[in-house]
Structure 1
Amino acid sequence: MLHEKLTYAIRGAAFKVHKALGPGLMESAYEACLVHELKETGLQVQHQLEVPLLYRGIHVKSAYKLDVLVDNKVILELKAVDTLAPIFTAQLLTYMRLSDIRLGLLINFNVENLQQGIKRYII
């Protein structure tokens, strides 16, 4: 699936979850529901994916966890916070760089209008 169509499908699933649940829940609730919606559309979804890290010849098992990986092409970093701090962007960009995945979405479900809660990053 092309990246544009893939992100469109992801955004659609996120909007569906947000419309049903609204803001104010814990991140884990949104993640579980979003994973369900994405799988319903036929996408390959992995969540809480432990990713190893190679640092100066040292293999660090489970160095970090991706919230959601869709079709091995898009990392989703999910939040349920009042405001997106710059560290959340840095976190997603680092995950993308270390995983060699060029597309990521930072999604904050704790907003009235989800349109303002989704940020797209390409490296």
Structure 2
Amino acid sequence: MSNVLKKDPIPDEINKLTGQIVDAAFIVHTTFGPGLLESIYEECLIHELKLRGIKVQSQINVPLDFKGLYIERGLILDVLVEGQVIVEVKSVKELHPVYEQQLLTYMKITGKRVGLLINFNAPLIKNGIKRMVL
């Protein structure tokens, strides 16, 4: 018998939700293209998702507890969609592996299994989106 823990598959509703997020990012990117500040893309993405009736929270403070040391502002999530999917918004020349590690760490700390790393500065948005699953 294997020691490897098998994770449940990602529910269809989460997969559909990530599709909606990607579609919203596509709309924002098609409208503006690359070159704006990260904060502008984030606000527009949030607005587009809300127009679709999707619950979105932004700049969420997640306190951390390290061996009894409580850190009030441990980390800040850019966007949390329907309480399920973390979206890390970037507007950078290229996505470095450290951004992927950042998102994975956020996912582990919060217990969220799905995250999207979206770089709006990519010439083609499809090349600027990375879906990550734990």
How does the TM-score come out when normalised to structure 2? 0.89
1:50 equivalenced with 2:50 (yes/no): no
Aligned partner of residue 107 in structure 1, secondary structure: strand
Size of the alignment, in residue pairs?
123
Structural RMSD (CA) = 0.9
- Cα distance in 1, alignment partners of residues 16 and 110 from structure 2: 21
Name the counterpart of 1:122. Answer: 133
- Cα distance in 2, alignment partners of residues 57 and 103 from structure 1: 28
One-letter code aligned to 1:66: L
Name the counterpart of 1:41. Answer: 52
One-letter code aligned to 2:85: V
One-letter code aligned to 1:104: G
Name the counterpart of 2:18. Answer: 7
Moved over 2 A (4+): none
Higher alpha-carbon Rg: 2
- Cα distance in 1, alignment partners of residues 89 and 78 from structure 2: 7
Aligned partner of residue 89 in structure 2, secondary structure: strand
Structure 1: 5+ residue runs without aligned partners? none
* Partner of residue 115 from structure 2, selected from 104, 109, 113: 104
1:18 equivalenced with 2:29 (yes/no): yes
- Calculate percent identity across the aligned residue pairs: 50
Name the counterpart of 1:89. Answer: 100
- Cα distance in 1, alignment partners of residues 15 and 77 from structure 2: 21
Aligned partner of residue 2 in structure 1, secondary structure: helix
Q: Which moved further from structure 2: 58-67 or 19-28?
A: 58-67
Structure 2: 5+ residue runs without aligned partners? 1-11
Name the counterpart of 2:8. Answer: none
- Cα distance in 2, alignment partners of residues 61 and 115 from structure 1: 36
- Cα distance in 1, alignment partners of residues 124 and 92 from structure 2: 14
How does the TM-score come out when normalised to structure 1? 0.97
One-letter code aligned to 1:106: L
